[in-house]
Amino acid sequence: MATKWRDEEVTVISVTPLAEGVVVPLLTLVAALVLVLEGAAHVHFLRVIEGWLALVVVAPVAVVALTRTWRWRSHKVHVTSQRVLLEGGVLRHWRSSIELRDVLATRVDQRVSERLARRGMVVLETRLGPVSLGRVRHPGALCRMIDAERSHEYESIPLDTVFTFEEPDRKNHRVRLQPPRRNEDE
């Protein structure tokens, strides 16, 4: 299902968030495959049922690894000139969009290890609350791109504008001090 763009809407960048939950199933798949092959090489009984053993042990792990990879690759974040689009889903495709004019601020949530690896969670602050875009590579760059597109939404003051201070006329402004009132009950 293709994403529909509005008139005069231009794609700035499309990002696939980081793989979460993909590494462990892939490593488990490799370990299960190695165990079945090594076990079949050393034990005669396992060599006889090697195909069935691979089907029973390796196939479920392979299915989990493939579905996680498929789910990860189907998740996208699109930044356009007018909005930020989030889409994903394997069987039930979902799509969400946030107008750039509704974004109040962007921020990056990172741990120290993520800072070193240049990864982190990008969060958009909106009037309705924070919206997480997911963990991405170079989150600061993505925030800067969103902020740059947000600045194009508004009529901005030219950078060469000079602001001056005009002192008000002193004749029109007088300060009248009132003497303190006395309490009549005294």
Give the mean model confidence (pLDDT) for residues 59-72: 79
The contacts of residue 90 (CB under 8 Å, 6+ apart) are 67, 70, 71, 74
Spatial distance between the Cα atoms of 115 and 118, rounded to a whole number of angstroms: 5
Under DSSP, is residue 101 helix (H, G, I), strand (E, B) or coil? helix
Fold annotation for 11-153: PH-domain like (2.30.29)
Q: What is the pLDDT of residues 133-159, one digit of tens each?
A: 888 889 998 988 898 888 775 555 666
pTM of the model: 0.60
Q: Which residue has the higher pLDDT, 5 or 114?
A: 114
User: Which of the four pLDDT bands, split at 50, 70 and 90, describes residue 108?
Assistant: very high
Cα(7)–Cα(52) distance, integer angstroms: 56
Domains in the chain: boundaries: 11-153
